[in-house]
A = this chain, B = another copy of it.
Amino acid sequence: MNTSVDLGGLRLKNPIMSASGTFGYGLEFAPYGDLQKLGAIVVKGLSLQPRSGNPPPRITETPCGMLNAIGLQNVGVEKFLREKLPFLPADKTPVIANLYAQGAGEFAELAAILGDEPKVSALEINISCPNVRCGGVQFGQDPEAAAFVTRQVRRACPDKPLIIKLSPNVTDIRVIARSVQEAGADIISLINTLGGMAVDIHSRKPRLANTVGGLSGPAVKPVALKMVYEVCGVVDIPVIGLGGICSARDALEFIMVGAHAVQIGTANFMRPDLIFDLVDELPVLLAELGVESLEKFRGSLETA
């Protein structure tokens, strides 16, 4: 079964990618499976300077999901290029850098640095992280700001496929999606986490030091699926779907509503070899469904 996909210049041998922030720099999972099997590896969000992130507690479990407020702790782009990237099988599996910055200028600077790096196959711009007070979520919640960032990054890095990752915390996701498409995005990925909160009635404190955080995992899958479906209906560029995917069946649900590829996030925590198993299970399930190719299955949802 051919499960390869072409995301507007970014070719993947299969549609299973890791989601940023849930797969470390990829190397953390090398003991549990063959990284070369994956469609692509999306690494933890990178910023110009190293960031230490928010104080702990940063994560808490919720019904069928979790909240996180990591605050984009990362080693910084320099150290990533020096100490992480060389050890990833970039010639066998595309490595995608996820970018975080506090302003459009900083995004452009980051994009220029990573754009020069042959071992980075594409850039994913996180305009939707709700965990950083300045910057972050604002870009993803306003169509003008989202377009502005997209244009700046496009200009700074004209040669690599550009993925814009959208926030679900908006009134109409289609407006933002169209806006970034017009501004030059090659690919759209969604969803990032939903804003959420958890508290402890005994200590009377929030369960996250940051008070609020981002919700992910199976709990959000219905929200993600609807948004991916809606966005696929209004843009012409490929869409990467994510949000709560835990199984090959979940992955095919997103592809059936129109996604070209999917990312596995929170499910990586359920079992570190889960993502590798999904790569094997996907073609088996497709065959069971009597589908000849992934291509044929994509967008095949029949609505009344």
Q: A-side interface residues toward B, CB under 8 Å?
A: 62-65, 67, 141, 169-172, 194-199, 201-202, 204-206, 209, 211-212, 215, 217-223, 225-226, 229, 244, 249, 252-253, 256-257, 285, 289, 300-304
A252 contacts across to B, CB distance below 8 A: 201
Q: A206: nearest residue on chain B (CB-CB)?
A: B303
Find out whether the CB atom of B249 lies under 8 angstroms from the CB atom of A301.
no
Query: In the complex, how many angstroms separate the beta carbon of A126 from the nearest chain B beta carbon?
Result: 18
User: Per DSSP, are chain A's interface residues mostly helix, strand or loop, or mixed?
Assistant: mixed
Contact among B194, B199, B217 with A223 in the assembled complex (CB-CB below 8 Å) = B194
Q: How far is the CA of A169 from the CA of B222 in the complex (A)?
A: 13
Q: Give chain B nearest CB distance to A250 CB in angstroms.
A: 9
* Other A-B pairs beyond A62-B222, A63-B218, 17, CB < 8 Å: A63-B64, A63-B65, A63-B244, A64-B65, A65-B222, A171-B171, A195-B226, A196-B222, A198-B253, A199-B253, A202-B289, A205-B301, A205-B303, A211-B303, A211-B304, A212-B229, A219-B219
Sample of 9 A–B contacts (CB below 8 Å): A169-B171, A170-B171, A171-B171, A195-B223, A195-B226, A198-B253, A199-B225, A201-B285, A211-B303
**CB-based contact B197/A257 at 8 Å:** yes
- Residues in B neighbouring A209, C-beta threshold 8 A: 304
Q: Is the CB of A201 within 8 A of B253?
A: yes
CB distance from A118 to the nearest CB of B (A): 38
Instruction: List chain B residues, Cβ under 8 A from A244.
Output: 63
Pairs A-B, 4 closest by C-beta atoms = A196-B222, A63-B218, A219-B219, A64-B64
- A172 nearest in chain B by CB position: B141
State whether A212 and B199 are in contact (beta carbons under 8 Å apart), knowing that A170-B171, A219-B219 are contacts in the complex.
no
User: By the criterion CB–CB under 8 Å, are A222 and B197 in contact?
Assistant: yes
Once A201-B289, A289-B202, A301-B204 are accepted as A-B contacts, the answer to whether A223 and B215 lie under 8 Å apart by CB is yes
Closest to A250 in B: B201
